Each structure stands twice: as C-alpha cells, then as structure tokens.
C-alpha cells in the first residue's frame, strides 16, 4: 500500500533561461564573426594573424561547449518527509572517508568529518562509517579511537536537540547560550559536551607533538616501525553498533608494498568498497574527503529521495552534491570556490544525463560501482564473471547479493574481519577487473571523473543537488601554492583521461554516453589544453609591441568593433552571472584574473606532465593539497578583511607567470621610452596599434599579484630564485622575438 502514495519524493523543474541563452548565443555569434574576418584577411597578414586565428578558433569551440552545458538548467525539489511513509524499512548506507597524510590533512579535521557523519539524521543501525588512512598513521588511528568515545555523547546530543551543524569545531564557534534563552538542561549538556570536545582536541594536539601519539601497545602495537609505503593491512573495528545509537566505525589502512601499484585514492576507494561489501554491504554508499563534513543532517534522506523515489530506479547511478567551503575567503581571491560554475553548469548538466562525479559528497548505488548496467542483471549469474571480483569467495557472494539487489544475511561485522584482510591485500586485484571494468577506475589522478565517465557510458544517469543549507562544507586551498598545486593536479588528471583509451569519444561510439554530455566531458577534460592558446594569445600583445606589429584590426578599421564587442559582451555576461548569485564585483574580477594565471601556469605544468608521461620520460605524481584545520595565528589585516594577499613559494609553477609579467612590462617600457625594434623586412606592420597596447595593459592588470610579489618579502613575495629564472627566460624571449622579426 505504501507504494500507492501519489506524492513524489522529488521532481525536476526546468528554469527559464531566455536572457542567458540570448547573451551566450550573441557572444558565440561574435566569436564566429571574428573567425570569418580572420579568414577573409588571412592572405594579407603574416604568422601573427594566423596564430591569433588558431587561438580564437579554440576559444570559439570552447565557448560552444560551455553554452551546451548551460543550456537546459533545472531545479530539483525533494520531499524527505515522505521517505519513511513510502519506505518504512529505510535502506542502509555505507559512508567512506579518505585521508592520506596526517601533516597535510590534520587528524582533528578527519575526526570532525567522521563525527558529523556518525550524527546524521538517519537510523544509526542503518549506517556504517569506514575511514581509509593511506598515511598509515598511528596518530590518525589514535584520534579516531578517542573521538569514538566522544561520539556517544555527541550523537545523542545532536539528535536530542536537533543540532543543525554536526561538526563540533564549527558548532562550538557560536554560543547558543549567550544568543538565546535555553532551558537549564540544554545549558548544562551544552557546557558538558563543549568541555569534552575541548579535552578531545587537547589530547589529539598533545599526541601530535610527540614522535608517537602514545605507547605503541595493544591496538597501537601494529603501528610500531611502520613505513608509510611498505606495511601490512591494518583493519580495526573501533566501534560496533551494538546498542543501535552510534553507527559502526571501522579504520582501514590497506597493505602497501613497493612492487605493487597502489593507484592513489582510487585504490583506497576500491578497498573501502570491498571491505564494506563484506561487513555491511549497504546498497548505497557515500564518500567524502577527510575535510568535507556534513553541514545538512538531512543529506542522507535527501539523496535517497532521488535514488529510490523514481518509478524505475534502473537508471539513476549517483547523486552528486557540490563542493562548498566553510573557510572561503571573501571575494574568492584564489578563484577556487567555483560558485558560478556550480550554479550555471551544474544546474545545466542536471538537465542532461547528469553531472560528473567530483570525488567527494557523492552517493553511489553499490551495484553501479560493481559494474552493473542499467536493467541488465544477466551477467551476475555467470560464475566466470564473478571471479573478476577477485579470489575471495565471501566477497563474490557479497557482490552477488549487491548486484541482485538482495540484502543477504548480515552477521556481526567482526565476523568478517579475517576476510576483510584478504580483500585489502595489495595483490588481491591481480587477475581481477578492479580498476578497469568496475570500482574506481585507474589511469588518472582525477579518478573521480574517470569513474563517473565509466558509469555514464553505460547509460546511468546522475543528479546534481543544491541544498540550503549546503549538504557538505569543506576546506578550500588558502594560498597560492596550494591553489596552483590543486589546479595542476586537476589539469594533469583530466588530460590523462583525454589521451587514454577511456576518453569520451570512445564511450560515445561504443557506449550509451549521451552526445551533449560527451560535449561537456570534452570541455572538462580539455581544461589543461587551454593553457596553450591562452599563453599564445596573451603573449601576442607583448610580442607585437616588441616587433612593431599588430594582431588586431587598426582603430580606423570598422572590424575593430568585433573584438571590442566580444570583450565587452564576455565581461558583462560573466559579471551578470556573478551578481545574480549574490557575489561581488571583486569576486568576479578575482576569478577572471585567476583564470588567466591558472591557465598560463598550473595548466601549463599539467600539460607538460602528461607530455612527459606519454614520452615515457617520467610518470605523473599525485600531490596532496595542504589543508588548514584552523586559522593562521599570523593573519594580517588584509586577510581578515577578505582581501588576502597572493602567496608564493619556490615551486617552478610560478616561473611562467613571473616571466610572462616581465615580458609585458619590458614591452610597455620599450614603448614608453620610444625604443622601437626593426620593422619587418617585407614592410608589414607599420606601427603598434592601440589595441595591442590596451591588451598588454590588461594582461599586466590580470597578473597584478605577481607584480606585487616582485616587491614583497616572505610568503607574499616571489622568491629570488624564481625572479632570477624568470628574468633570464624573459630576456631570452625578448631577444628571440626581436631577432625573428628584425
């Protein structure tokens, strides 16, 4: 009778998008018009004109891909209050947390994420939390053990008083006692819980200062003399849900040996899938990074409304929640908060086959992870096919139940501890299809996108869900080096997919990837490639000034109106997008300049890394982004007021940007001093146009953080070694440009 309730658990509503479509189409028309103008006048101009045409062709194609992604935005409305009336027996959910470095990802951050997961508004006996520690850290394990004791108090407190923010470090930032008139019981419990949390933090902090967090005895004995990249499997059941008030909590550090590839986060996620498949085998999974805590306690119910609320659940593979940040600096000085990208492209993709998997804040259907195709259950009866899941017969049985949608008979999770060691071994995947046909797919540092692409190519759909308040909040990179490192890793991983056998072109031809989603994946995977046309196009103004040439129509030429219209339209269009989502003009400008900086530095190094890999000269290296668990004690007034200064280090990633700035400053200085290089021998280029000068000034304005860095010291200044390298390279480029056109 429950299934006869007509009220839906969720529905999609198309957004009116007339003005946005008109502006996007206008800009596309202007870009195409510029290409036609270039073609018609190409014979009367030289190499500079051809280079500009090639760059503009890429920009036009890229804009077309963006318009495609934004074209059909939708809103998703869920009704979690109707979930239990329709499904009295709620499905179980396994929750995964991944961490890899106790220094870059402080354990107290992982602890808060775990505590927020344990306290979500969902029956505790239906939840299990698995923490993967790829750093094999005794400190991380110790922190989780201590936090499990606090969890018994914290979970009861949150559910009793319907606490909204269930990560303690955020909840205790405000004092509800001083801002309201709570009853005496709440006041006493609040003070007690806060004192317990502060004591927990103190114990973890003191442990982190020691060479070993405590005596390596009993449960901690396995961490004695451990090497991070060479150690046996460690699996500890920290908390087992016997009293049905706090979910299971399991610690996992998979086996690592030098002779076996561990496949970074993808390998860790596959181990989590197998261990959880043995112990609890929930039909749905949630995975979050260690810095991404639950901000909306209803998130599990919200996701399940979309996963179980369809007339046919055959085609909904996963629900992706956006990455939002609690430490987001005002006006997004590093351009990494992606608010506009989420609002416009995220909603647009929800109107297609669905958004990509972004690695955190995502609910998966377990059978999808196990390689199932929509509506196809024939292969699960094939014994040889089941052997592809590995040599553990217990896991094969577990996978069979998951693929058939059966619950199976679950015992105490400790009964599966011995079998779990087998599936977490570094050689377990040998001869299996893990990382190729199912699980998290190997072959890229952005294993999340590759895994989502593999799911979409089978015909599964996904949804993008924006909640208020946001479902999860994480920690954004708060400095130039961290932001550039993250962007470089993304560019590298995405380009690895594009040049692999798993690229979307193959999946569109051989699978069920929708054509318009294929176009989006081309846009996403080509982020790194934008560095080449961006770098060339932004270098053209400086080159033309040095060589006394031009790449834009002269001011007296009516055709100059086309690039002017493109410049004005693009900036007004993007500014409108930022203002419509309540962001400021400064936020818009910060994102515009960071797009130029990122493309000509981080993306460039990402492309270089992939080229070296293809040539067999080196392999790509996964770099963990530094996470800050608390505010720095030496913040200056600018950072507090939200105008954070750009920070630098000695990484070579800052050499291209510094070189780029010096070349443009040299070009403008030569113009101001009246120093002119020789005119082309063929007489081409009778003088530098106003357009080239304005473009060069615009580029310098975009690289203003680097110009400030030339005159600052410490972390806000560009290191002397970088300045020396960039000055030498800039001198060579200026001389080369002058000689080529002399």
Annotated binding-site residue? 332: no
C-alpha atoms less than 13 angstroms from C-alpha of 323 in its C-beta half-sphere: 22
At what angle are helices 655-672 and 720-740 packed, to 10 degrees? 50
- State the Cα angle at 265 between 264 and 270, rounded to 5°: 105
Question: Helix crossing, 585-599 with 690-702: angle to 10°?
Answer: 100
Q: Is 125 annotated as a binding residue?
A: no
N- to C-terminal Cα separation, the chain: 85
Distance CA 467, CA 234 (A): 37
Nearest residue to 656 via CA among 536, 499, 510, 521: 536
User: Rounded to whole angstroms, how far apart are CA atoms 296 and 302?
Assistant: 10
Catalytic residue among 94, 331, 332, 448: 448
Burial 118-146 (b: 16+ CB within 10 A, else e): bbbbbebbbbbbbbbbbbbbbbbbbbbbb
H or E stretch covering 33: helix 18-40
Say whether 638 is catalytic.
no
- Compute CA distances 482 → 489, 515, 646, 648, 693, whole Å: 11, 35, 11, 9, 33
Tokens 């507090």 belong to residue = 640
Q: Is 331 a catalytic residue?
A: no
Q: Are strands 127-133 and 93-99 parallel, antiparallel or unpaired?
A: parallel
Among residues 94, 134, 331, 332, the one annotated as catalytic is 134
Count of Cβ atoms closer than 10 Å to residue 107 Cβ: 28
Whether 451 contacts 440, CB under 8 Å: yes
Does the annotation list 105 as a binding residue?
yes
Chain CA centroid to CA 204, Å:
28
Q: Would you state the structure tokens that stand for residue 169, as one six-digit string?
A: 């470090």
Q: Could you tell me the strand order of the sheet in which 293-294 lies?
A: 293-294, 472-474, 324-325
Is 265 annotated to bind a ligand? Reply is: yes
Binding-site residues for Mn(2+), in ranges, read 265, 289
Query: Which of the residues are catalytic?
Result: 134, 448
Binding-site residues for UDP-alpha-D-glucose, in ranges, read 105, 134
């Amino acid at each position: 009778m429950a299934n006869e309730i007509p009220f839906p658990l969720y529905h999609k509503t198309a957004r009116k998008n007339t003005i946005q479509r008109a502006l996007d189409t206008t800009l596309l028309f202007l870009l195409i018009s510029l290409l036609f103008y270039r073609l018609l006048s190409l014979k009367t101009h030289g190499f500079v004109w051809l280079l500009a045409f090639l760059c503009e062709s890429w920009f036009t194609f890229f804009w077309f891909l963006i318009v495609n992604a934004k074209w059909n935005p939708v809103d998703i409305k869920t009704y979690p209050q109707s979930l239990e009336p329709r499904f009295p027996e709620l499905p179980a959910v396994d929750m995964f947390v991944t961490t890899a470095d106790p220094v870059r990802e402080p354990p107290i951050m992982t602890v808060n994420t775990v505590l927020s997961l344990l306290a979500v508004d969902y029956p505790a006996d239906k939840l299990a939390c698995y923490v993967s520690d790829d750093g094999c850290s005794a400190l991380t394990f110790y922190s989780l053990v201590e936090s499990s004791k606090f969890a018994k108090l914290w979970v009861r407190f949150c559910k009793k008083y319907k606490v909204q923010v269930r990560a303690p470090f955020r909840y205790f930032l405000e004092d509800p006692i001083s801002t309201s008139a709570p009853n005496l019981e709440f006041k006493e419990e609040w003070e007690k819980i806060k004192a317990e949390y502060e004591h927990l933090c103190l114990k973890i902090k003191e442990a982190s200062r020691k060479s070993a967090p405590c005596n390596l005895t009993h449960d901690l004995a396995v961490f004695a003399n451990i090497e991070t990249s060479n150690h046996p499997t460690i699996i500890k059941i920290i908390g087992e849900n016997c009293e049905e008030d706090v979910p299971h909590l399991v610690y996992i550090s998979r086996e690592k040996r030098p002779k076996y590839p561990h496949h970074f986060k993808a390998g860790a996620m596959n181990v989590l899938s197998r261990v959880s498949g043995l112990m609890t085998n929930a039909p749905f999974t949630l995975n979050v990074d260690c810095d991404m805590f639950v901000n909306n306690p209803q998130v599990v119910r919200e996701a399940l409304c979309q996963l179980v609320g369809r007339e046919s659940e055959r085609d909904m593979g996963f629900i992706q929640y956006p990455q939002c940040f609690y430490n987001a600096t005002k006006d997004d000085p590093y351009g990494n908060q992606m608010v506009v990208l989420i609002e416009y492209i995220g909603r647009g993709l929800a109107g297609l086959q669905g958004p990509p998997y972004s690695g955190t804040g995502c609910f998966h259907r377990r059978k999808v992870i196990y390689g199932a195709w929509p509506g196809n259950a024939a292969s699960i009866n094939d014994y040889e096919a089941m052997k592809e899941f590995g040599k553990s017969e217990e896991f094969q049985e577990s996978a069979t139940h998951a693929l058939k949608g059966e619950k199976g008979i679950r015992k105490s999770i400790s009964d599966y501890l011995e079998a779990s060691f087998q599936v977490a071994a570094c050689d377990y995947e040998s001869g299996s299809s893990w990382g190729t046909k199912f699980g998290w797919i190997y072959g890229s540092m952005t294993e999340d996108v590759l895994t989502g692409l593999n799911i979409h190519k089978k015909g599964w759909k996904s949804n993008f869900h924006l909640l208020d308040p946001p479902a999860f909040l994480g920690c954004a990179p708060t400095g130039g080096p961290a932001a550039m490192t993250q962007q470089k890793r993304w560019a590298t991983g995405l380009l690895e997919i594009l040049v692999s056998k798993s690229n979307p072109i193959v999946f569109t031809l051989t699978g069920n990837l929708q054509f318009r989603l294929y176009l989006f994946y081309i846009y996403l995977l080509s982020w790194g490639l934008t560095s080449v046309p961006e770098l060339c196009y932004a270098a053209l103004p400086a080159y033309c000034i040095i060589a006394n040439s031009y790449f834009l129509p002269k001011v007296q030429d009516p055709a100059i109106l086309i690039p002017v219209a493109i410049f004005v339209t693009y900036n007004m269009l993007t500014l409108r997008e930022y203002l419509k989502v309540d962001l400021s003009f400064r936020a818009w400008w910060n994102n515009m300049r960071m797009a130029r900086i990122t493309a000509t530095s981080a993306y460039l190094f990402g492309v270089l890394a992939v080229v070296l890999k293809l040539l067999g000269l080196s392999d790509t290296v996964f770099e963990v982004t530094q996470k800050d668990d608390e505010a720095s004690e030496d913040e200056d007034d600018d950072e507090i007021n939200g105008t954070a200064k750009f920070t630098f280090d000695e990484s070579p990633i800052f050499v291209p940007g510094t070189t780029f700035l010096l070349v443009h400053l040299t070009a403008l200085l030569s113009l101001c001093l009246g120093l002119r290089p020789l005119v082309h021998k063929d007489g081409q280029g009778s003088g530098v146009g106003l357009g080239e000068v304005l473009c060069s000034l615009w580029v310098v304005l975009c690289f203003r953080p680097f110009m400030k860095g030339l005159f600052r010291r410490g972390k806000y200044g560009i290191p002397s070694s970088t300045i020396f390298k960039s000055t030498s390279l800039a001198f060579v480029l200026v001389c080369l440009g002058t000689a080529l056109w002399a």
